[in-house]
Structure 1
Amino acid sequence: MLHNKNRFFTALMALGFTASLAAPASAAVVASIKPLGFIAAAIADGVTPVEVLLPDGASEHDYALRPSDVKRLQSADLVVWVGPEMEAFLTKSASGLPAKKNLELAALNGVKPLLIRGAEEDEHHEEGHADHDEEGHDHHHHGEYNMHLWLSPEIARQSAVAIHEKLLELMPQSKDKLDANLQNFEVSLAKSDQQIGSELAPVKGKGYFVFHDAYSYFEKHYGLSPLGHFTVNPEIQPGAQRLHQIRTQLVEQKAVCVFAEPQFRPAVIDAVARGTSVRKGTLDPLGMGISLTKDSYVKFLSQLSSQYVSCLKGA
C-alpha cells in the first residue's frame, strides 16, 4: 500500500514538473514605460500578458529599480524599452538579458533614421551652458537625440513590427493571432493618424510653450508650432534668463498657451503666465489613466491631440 502511495506522489510530482515546463507559453512582456506597454499590448492581445515597470505618476527621468522590478525583468520573456539614454535605470539590468529577450527600440535599424536631435542642439541656448552642466550625465538628455520615441506614430509602427517579430520567435504557435494583431494595429493607427491630423490642422500656426522637451516627434509629425520649452530636464528648474525670455514672448502675445504635465506642475509656469492672456493646459506624455488594451496606443495619441486642441483653440 505504501509503495503504491509513493508511486502516486512520484507521478503527481512528474505531472507538476511537466506543467512547470509548459508554463512559459503565457509568460509576460515587460515594458519600461506605459506608452511602450500600449504598443506591446496591441500586439500581444490574446497571446501573452503585458506589464509596465514604471508606476503611474513616476518619472522615467529619475526612477530607481526596486528588487521586485529586477525579478520581473529577469523572469520576463521580453523586455521592451527605448534605450540607455532614456531609461538609464534599466541599463544594468538590460545588459544582463539575452538578446532574444531584450528589445531596445532606439537601436532598431528602422528607427535610427527617424531620430530627431535633442534640444541641446537647438536654438534655445542663448543663456549659456550653466543649466546643462548641472544635469550630470545620468539623464537621457546627455545624448545626441531626443529619446521620447513613442510620441512618433511612425516609430510606434516600427516598434510594433519589432515586438511582433520577437513574440513570433518566442511563441511560433501563436503566429495567426500575432499576425492579425499587427495588421489590426497598423490599420487602426493609420485611421487614427488621419483623424488627429484633421483635428490638429486648425491650430497648426498657434504658438505655445511646453514644460519640457518631450514632444518633438508628435509636433513634427503633425506640423505644430512650438515656440520652445521651459527645461530640457524636468528635474532641473529653468534659469532666470530662460524664464525672462519666455515671459517676454508671452507678453508680446507670441504664444496662446503654456503646457504643464501631470507629474510636473511647476510654480514657474504660473509665475511666468501671470498677468498675460495666455492659457494654461496640461499634456500627458505617458498616458496616465489609460489602461492596457489593444486600443491603448491610439487612445493615447487621441488624448494628447485633444489636450493640444483644447488649450490652443480656447473656449
Structure 2
Amino acid sequence: MSRNLLPLSLSATLLASAAWADVPKVATDIAPVHSLVSRVMDGVGEASLIVPSGATPHEYSLRPSEAAALQDADLVFWIGPDLTPWMENAIETLAGSATVSTLMETDGTLELPFRESALFEAHDHDAKDDHGHDDHAHDEAAHDHEHDHDDDHAKDDHADDAHSHDDHGHDDHGHDDHAHDDEGHAGHAHGAHDPHAWLSLDNASVWLNAIAAQLSAADPENAGAYYANATAAREELDSLRTEVNAILDPVRRQNFIVFHDAYQYFENTFDFPASGAISFSDATDASPARIAEIQNRVTEQDIRCVLSEPQFDPKIVAAVMDGSEAKTGVLDPLGSDLDLGADLYGNVVRNLARALADCLQS
C-alpha cells in the first residue's frame, strides 16, 4: 500500500469528522425539544441541552457549560418566554449571532389559553377545533415540504434571529395579565397561553418541519437528511398516536386530578380531560382554599386518581387525598428520568399515557 494512502477506515473517520465540523452548533431549551431536534439531526450532528432533565424550566441558573453552549450556538430552538422567562435575556446576551426559533410562535402551532380555575370543565378542551387542527392535517402538509427547501420552509422562523425578539411583542406579556386571584397571577405572568405545547402531537409535527427548515437553511448540504428525518419522525408520531389511544381506551371517561396544570395539550390530543389541578403551575404553591376546592371535587366526582410529579412535595397530594380512596401516580412531562436523545419525546408521551392508565385501573 502506498505510504500516501490512509487505511479506508481511517479515511472514512476523517471524512465524517470533517462533515461533522460543518454542521451547525445547535442549542435547545428542554429535553423534549432537544429530542425533536436530535431526531431531525440524526446521523448528521448533535444538539446541546440548556435546561438539564429534572430542573424546573421556569426558574433556572445557567451553569458555565450551558452558557457556553448558548454562546457558541448557530441555531437556538426554544419553547419561548412563557416557559423559560429567564432564558430570553440569556439568549439575547449570549447568542447574539444565532438564529433563534421560538417554537410557540411557529406558524400552525396550537396554543391553548391558561385555565384559571382549579376545576376544569369540558368546554376547556374545544380550542383544538377553533384552530382547525385535525389529527393528520400536518402530515399532509409535511409531504408538500419534503423536497421544497426554499421560501416555503423559511417561514417566519428564519427571521427569529437574536435581534428579532423585540418584534415579538414580549413587552406585551404583561405581568398583570393573569392576576385573577392571589395564586394565579404568579403562576403565569408571562403570557396568555399555556407553554406546555410540546405535549400536542400536532405541535410536534409542525415543529419538526420548522426545525428541518432552519437546519437546512443553515446547512444546505445536509438538507436532504434533515427533511428525510423529519418525515420519518412525523410517521412515528402517527404510530405513537395510535399506540397511546390504545393505552387510554380501557380507562376513558374516568376522572383524575393532576398536580399542576401542564397537561391540557395531552388531554386535547387524546380527548382525555382532567377534572382539575392542585396548582396553577410548578412556580406556585397551592393555597389552602384551592386544596379544599380540589378535595370537594375528589369526593363529588369519585376521582379515581391523583397524579403528582417527581419534583414536588408528596405531602400536598396526600392532603388532597385525605379521606378518599383515590390512587396516586406520577406524571413526568419533561422526561427527567429518560435518556436524552431522539427517542425521549415519544417515551415522554407514552409514559404519560401508561402512568395515567395504571393509576385509573381498578
Interval containing the TM-score (normalised by the shorter chain): 0.7 to 0.9
The size of the alignment, in residue pairs, is 287
Deviation at 1:81, TM superposition (A): 0.5
Structure-2 residue corresponding to 1:117: 113
> Structure 2: how far apart are the matches of 1:90 and 1:156?
21
1:120 alignment partner AA: E
1:211 alignment partner AA: F
Residues 207 and 155 (structure 1 numbering): CA distance in 2 closer, same or farther, change over 3 Å? same
Structure-1 residue corresponding to 2:311: 263
> Structure 2: how far apart are the matches of 1:176 and 1:54?
29
> Structure 2: how far apart are the matches of 1:185 and 1:158?
11
Partners of 2:264 and 2:273 within 8 A in 1: no
Which of 297, 302, 324 is 1:276 aligned to?
324
Which of 254, 261, 267 is 2:302 aligned to?
254
Partners of 2:74 and 2:97 within 8 A in 1: no
TM-score by length of 1: 0.84
Residues 36 and 62 (structure 1 numbering): CA distance in 2 closer, same or farther, change over 3 Å? same
Pick which of 71-80 and 22-31 moved more: 22-31
Partners of 1:78 and 1:101 within 8 A in 2: yes
Structure-1 residue corresponding to 2:100: 102
Deviation at 1:228, TM superposition (A): 0.6
Q: Does 1:189 align with 2:243?
A: no
> Structure 2: how far apart are the matches of 1:254 and 1:141?
33
> Structure 2: how far apart are the matches of 1:158 and 1:312?
31
**Whose helix fraction is larger, Structure 1's or Structure 2's?**
1
Aligned partner of residue 280 in structure 1, secondary structure: strand
Residues 233 and 294 (structure 1 numbering): CA distance in 2 closer, same or farther, change over 3 Å? closer
Largest Rg, 1 or 2: 1
1:307 alignment partner AA: A
Which of 38, 59, 62 is 2:35 aligned to?
38
Structure 2 counterparts to residues 1-315 of structure 1, below 5 A:
24-96=21-93, 97=95, 101-111=99-109, 114-120=110-116, 129-133=181-185, 135=186, 140-314=188-362
RMSD, aligned α-carbons: 2.4
> Structure 2: how far apart are the matches of 1:148 and 1:214?
6
> Structure 1: how far apart are the matches of 2:248 and 2:312?
24
Aligned partner of residue 103 in structure 1, secondary structure: strand
Partners of 1:78 and 1:102 within 8 A in 2: yes
> Structure 2: how far apart are the matches of 1:178 and 1:23?
14
Partners of 2:295 and 2:321 within 8 A in 1: yes
Partners of 1:100 and 1:166 within 8 A in 2: no
2:75 alignment partner AA: L
Which stretches in structure 1 are left out of the alignment for 5+ residues? Answer: 1-19
TM-score by length of 2: 0.74
> Structure 2: how far apart are the matches of 1:262 and 1:218?
18
> Structure 2: how far apart are the matches of 1:85 and 1:293?
24
> Structure 1: how far apart are the matches of 2:206 and 2:45?
20
> Structure 1: how far apart are the matches of 2:47 and 2:259?
30
Partners of 2:20 and 2:44 within 8 A in 1: no
Deviation at 1:176, TM superposition (A): 2.3
> Structure 1: how far apart are the matches of 2:331 and 2:209?
27
> Structure 1: how far apart are the matches of 2:20 and 2:343?
27
**Percentage identity across paired residues of the two chains:** 29
Q: Deviations over 1:75-116 (max 9, x none)?
A: 0121111111111111112235458620100111211xx100
